[in-house]
Structure formats: C-alpha cells, structure tokens
Amino acid sequence: MINITINGLAVSVENGSTILEAARFLGFPIPTLCHHEGLTPYGACRLCVVEIGEGPGARLVSSCTYPVEEGLKVRTASERVVRARRMIIELLLASCPQSKVIQDLASAHGVRTQRFKQEYEDCVLCGLCVRMCSEQMMAGAIGFRGRGEERSIGTPFDVQSEVCRFCGGCMHVCPACQLRCTYNQPEKAVCNACANLAPPCIEKEQYGDMMCYMNPCVACEIK
Amino acid sequence: MDTKGILEIIQRNGKNHAGIIAILEEIQEECSYLPEEALRLVARETGRSLADIYGVATFYKAFSLKPKGRHCISACLGTACHVRGAQKIVEEFSQELGIKPGETTPDNEITFETVNCLGACALGPIVVSDGHYFANVTARKVGEILRDTREGTFDSDVSQEAHPFLIEVSCPRCGRSLMDSGTSLHGHPSILITASMNGKTGWARIPSLYGHFSRTHEHDFPADTIIQLSCPHCASSFQDGSRCVDCGAPLATMRLADNSGVFRICTRTGCDGHLLDIGRAEL
Ligand code: SF4
Ligand code: SF4
Ligand code: SF4
Ligand code: FES
C-alpha cells in the first residue's frame, strides 16, 4: 500500500494504481474523456488534470496516467485545476461542439462560452476507438494516421479494412460520433447529424453499412 | 524491389516492435518510398496490425508513401531558418520547379520538401540536396542549387559545394587545435584525437566536413564498446557526462575553434551519433 494525501485526506491506496483510480475509489470525482476502464490509459484529452506537489513545485498532471507514489499530495479541485479543466472543455467545444458528451461536460462544469475559432470536427483524437479496436476487439482495424494538424483516425490507406469485425465497438466508445452511431435501429435513434430530412441511414438494411470508418455515408460528412 | 528483398530486410532487423522504424527506413532506402505492399508485408511478418505500421509510416516525415524523385531537396523551415527568410527560399524553389513543397516534378527528377529543423540553426537558412548541405542560402542561390542537383556537380567532390560546411575544433581543456592538415578527408584537414581502450592507445580520425561523419581508428576496437576519446596534446578526456541521443553512450565533447559552440561525438564504436551544438560554449 502507498500513502498519499488527496484533498487533504491522508489515505493509503493500492500500489500500482493511478491517481484517477485512487481518487475515484475514494469518491473524489475527476472528469475524464479519453479514459475507459477496460482500456489502457492514454492521456490524450488532459481533462483529468489534478495538481500534485506543493508550493512553487506544484504542477498539473493527467491523473489517468500518473501512478501513485509514496507521500504524493494531490488536489483534484484546486482553483488551478478547475481553471485548466474548464479551458480544456472550452477547447473541446471549439473543435467538436456537436458532441453530446462534450456538451454535457460543458454544462456540468459551467462552461457557457467558447472564445476560440469554432470548428466542427468529427473527432477529438481521444484514441478510444483505436484502443477499443485493438485491445478489446483484437482487430486492429483502425489507427492514428499522420501527425500534427493532419492527424486523423481511420483505416490504413483509407480503404475498407479486411480485418474489421463490424462490431461497432469503435463507435460505441466514441465521444464525438456517439450520437450518430450508437444504434442499430436507426428509426429509433436517428441522430440527424447530417441535417438531412431523409437520413440515408434509415434506408440501409444492414448495420455494417453504417460503419462510418469503412463506408462513410456522404451525409455523415457534416462540416 | 521484390517481396523477397523486403522479407529479407524484415528478417535481418528482427521481429520486435522496436525494429519497425529501422525496417521501414531500409525499405524506403531501397525503394525510395514505402509501397503499400511492403507495409502489408511488414505488418504480416512482425505480427503488428497494418493500422499500427501505417500509423508509424505516416507519422514521420522521413517516410513517404508516394514514390520520390531521383533527387531530393529539403529546405529547412525551422524557427531559426524561418526568421532568416527560409519562406522566401521555399517559394523560390516552388516557383522554379513548378511544384508545391512535398511534391515531385512531373519528370520524376526532383522531390522538394520542407523540414522543420536540421539541427544546425546557426548556419541557416539551410537547404539539403541529396545529402549535401548548403548553408546561408538566399533566394538568388536557388538556381545554382538546382543546377548542381540536376547535374550532380557536387557528387564527384564534396569540397566543391557552394558552401562547404566545415568545422574546426580544439581541445576544451588546453585549447590546442585538433586539426591535422597532414591528412585530409574529403579534401579538408581531418580532426585527429586519441582513442584508447583496455590499455590500447592510438589515433582516431574524423572528417571536418559536417554531414560526412565517419570515424577511423588506428587499432581495431571491438564493435559496440565504449572507448576513451581524449586530447592528443594534454591527454584530458573529452567525456563530459552528456549522452548520445542515438544510443545513450557517453559523448566526447570538443570545442569549436571560434568558440561558437561544441562538437560532440559518440564514444561507442559502431555508433555514428554526433552533433553540433552552436551557442553552447560553457565548458
Ligand atoms: S467495427 Fe471494426 S474498426 Fe470498429 S472496433 Fe470493431 S473491428 Fe474495430
Ligand atoms: S473517432 Fe471518436 S473515439 Fe476515435 S479518436 Fe476520434 S473522437 Fe475519439
Ligand atoms: S445518414 Fe449518417 S449522419 Fe445522417 S442520420 Fe444517418 S448515420 Fe446520422
Ligand atoms: S482522461 Fe486522462 S488524459 Fe484523458
């Protein structure tokens, strides 16, 4: 066991756990976006920031990737943490405002304005889908491509993947396209992200046909 | 290159994940780009998913999925080169060649690219053409570089580069010059230092033309071992605690004679790690 202090409370937590796991176990809420219990931590979204250390040495780290260490002092809701968190949410809103997950985060954390250039990305590069596909579905059909501004998610060479199982796992975990993809009964949950009066997906017979990565419907390419 | 050649490269580099970049580098060297078929083979043979391999291949600028031209010119657009007007040079190249950065001329002769830093900022703006460095390039010199590239005029003798990128070093301790005009390499005085290991002491020689790194020793030291590099005048060791970015071995540090920075080389035999650190003279 490792002795740490979370928000002033001295606790001992299991060796090898992350700050996030320890905090959640003890009931301190930390919002996350790219974290998923069944997948390896990735540290992409930085939403789970907490402050560690004291005085001038205090710094922000992503709690989902930071393992607990003896004597660690953690603050999960200091002013600095809250400010950083809200800034991250604001940036997420700037890139992907149509995401229900991000909208909910904004509302829960009182982010009402968005001061950056508005974009409508359909991906926040959280990597959940990639990890889902390779770690849980054992398919490895999709991955990150490119770097920097050109970084994107998809199949190699942008052609239909031969190893995709059409399980829908990637879309299930996606915070950005969840709305348009979490169903296999389109008539019950038409997302209408395409703003199409007659969404083409309703016509589709097979679930597989709606796999956004494999056969993107033209209408899905909302910009 | 055929399937067999690619399989050979993969086998030679082992099947561990750490080897993927090395494998891709070698394939690219052979084929001048990474063909789709090759990436599929690498994935199959290494047991990684094609998505992973594709991710690596598209992440690094050094890799290209499109065939490259016979010659390759890269202009540095790093911060230092940028503030010294590299953008103008890039535009000039684009105009002269009629292509955008990252493209290849229709006759498949020249691929023109921009890179983000070549690690020799003090000499910027820098342009590299087929491995030959041009320092302090101005838009007016673009035509000359293109002519050299097309005609391969720098191929026969590196010393004829428009701006040979020469370094002159001295011992950081006693300050005496390490240049040996008696023996030249690539047509320039070589750098002569002392190399020793297990009581065997002899000379080691390095070309003074930066970008053409190689090291020869008087004795045959075993591969992959750390040797002591020291000053032939005062015998003080050049090791100063810094580490090679390529292999982690200690680096030997020499001072540039004009005191503008340091030149470091790896002390491990077989490692070509070396770097020029301009503006660091706090030895
Ligand atoms: S649907 Fe295909 S790409 Fe998505 S998780 Fe399943 S196997 Fe991977
Ligand atoms: S597609 Fe969705 S799950 Fe995948 S990285 Fe983008 S936002 Fe995350
Ligand atoms: S066509 Fe695509 S974007 Fe439109 S409702 Fe169907 S799944 Fe959603
Ligand atoms: S949840 Fe920790 S960085 Fe995304």
**pLDDT digits 0-9 by tens, A128-173:** 999 999 999 999 989 999 999 889 888 898 887 888 877 778 877 8
Which pLDDT belongs to residue A172?
Answer: 78
Q: Tell me the longest C-alpha to C-alpha distance in chain B.
A: 60
- With b for 16 or more beta-carbon neighbours within 10 A and e for fewer, the A39-68 pattern comes to bebbebbbbbbbbbeeeeeeebbbbbbbeb
- Order of all β-strands in the sheet with B110-115: B103-104, B110-115, B71-76, B127-129, B132-134
pLDDT tens for the 283 residues of chain B, in order: 678 888 888 888 775 555 889 899 989 888 888 999 999 999 998 888 999 999 999 999 889 898 888 888 999 998 989 998 899 999 999 999 999 988 888 888 889 988 888 878 888 799 988 878 888 888 888 988 898 888 877 644 444 444 457 888 999 999 999 999 888 887 788 999 999 988 889 999 998 887 778 888 888 888 888 999 999 999 899 988 888 887 888 999 999 888 888 899 999 988 888 888 877 545 4
- Residue among B36, B49, B58 whose CB faces A140 most closely: B49
Closest-CA distance, A43 to chain B, in angstroms, reads: 18
Q: Which of A127, A99, A109 is nearest to A39 (CA)?
A: A127
Would you say the CB of residue A153 lies under 6 angstroms from ligand 2?
yes
Separation of A84 CA from ligand 2 center, angstroms?
A: 22
Confidence bin at A32 (pLDDT 50/70/90): very high
What are the CA-CA distances from residue A132 to residues A42, A161, B184 (Å)? 12, 16, 59
Residue B16: per-residue pLDDT: 55
Contact A156 B59 (CB under 8 A): no
All structural domains of chain B with their residue ranges: 3-59, 71-163, 166-278
Structure tokens at A196: 């199409």
- Distance from the Cα of B26 to chain A's closest Cα (Å) equals 20
DSSP state, A76?
S
Decide if A30 touches B, using CB distance below 8 A.
no
Q: Is the pLDDT confidence value at A1 over 60?
A: yes
Chain B CB within 8 Å of residue A223 CB: no
Q: Does B36 touch chain A (CB under 8 A)?
A: yes
Domains and CATH numbers, chain A: 2-108 (3.10.20.740), 128-221 (3.30.70)
User: What is the structure's pLDDT at A42?
Assistant: 95
Could you tell me which residues come within 8 angstroms of residue B149 by beta carbon, excluding any fewer than 6 positions away?
Answer: B71, B73, B110, B129, B130
Amino acid B193: pLDDT: 94
By the CB < 8 Å criterion, does B55 face chain A?
yes
Q: Do A144 and B55 touch (CB under 8 A)?
A: yes
Cα–Cα nearest to A78, from A107, A51, A46, A58: A51
Helix (H, G, I), strand (E, B) or coil at A200: helix
Helix (H) or strand (E) holding A7: none
Determine the Cα–Cα distance for residues B226 and B270; give it in Å rounded to an integer: 10
**Identity of the residue in B49, B53, B59 whose CB atom sits nearest the CB atom of A134:** B49
- d(Cα B16, Cα B11) in Å, to the nearest integer? 10
The answer, for A143 touching chain B at a CB cutoff of 8 Å, is yes
- Chain B touched by A141 (CB under 8 Å): yes
User: Measured between alpha carbons, how far is B52 from B67 in angstroms, rounded to an integer?
Assistant: 21
Closest Cα in chain A, distance from residue B17 (Å): 15
Q: Is there a contact between A145 and B58 if contact means CB atoms under 8 Å apart?
A: yes
Ligand 2 atom at minimal distance to the Cα of residue A142: 4
Q: Minimal Cα–Cα distance from A19 to chain B, Å?
A: 29
Q: What is the CATH number of domain B71-163?
A: 3.40.30.10
Counting one residue from A and one from B, how many pairs have CB atoms under 8 Å apart?
41
ipTM of the complex as predicted:
0.76
Ligand 2 atom closest to Cα of residue A130: 4
Q: Is residue A140 less than 8 Å (CB to CB) from chain B?
A: yes
B51–A contact, CB cutoff 8 A: yes
Phi, psi of B151 (to 5 degrees): -90, -5
Q: Which residues of A touch B36 (CB under 8 A)?
A: 157
Backbone angles phi, psi at B189, to 5 degrees: -50, 140
Question: Which residues in chain A have Cβ-Cβ distances shorter than 8 Å to B60?
Answer: 147
- CA separation for the pair B166, A187 (Å, rounded): 72
- Kindly give the distance from the C-alpha atom of residue A88 to the centroid of ligand 1, in angstroms, as a whole number: 28
Our measurement of the distance from residue B19's CA atom to the centroid of its chain's CA atoms, rounded to an integer in Å, reads 20
Contact A130 B51 (CB under 8 A): yes
Q: To the nearest whole angstrom, how far is the Cα of A174 from the nearest Cα of chain B? A: 18
pLDDT higher than threshold 70 for residue A182: no
Q: What's the confidence (pLDDT) of residue B192?
A: 93
B180 in Cβ contact with B192 (< 8 Å): yes
Which residues in A14-142 belong to E strands, given as ranges? 49-52, 59-62, 73-75
Cα B199 to middle of ligand 2, angstroms: 59
Mutate to test the interface with A, among B36, B46, B54, B63 (most CBs of A within 10 A): B54
Q: Which tokens is A205 given?
A: 């017979």
More confident residue, B62 or A30: A30
Nearest CB to A143 within list B52, B60, B61: B52
pLDDT of residue B87: 92
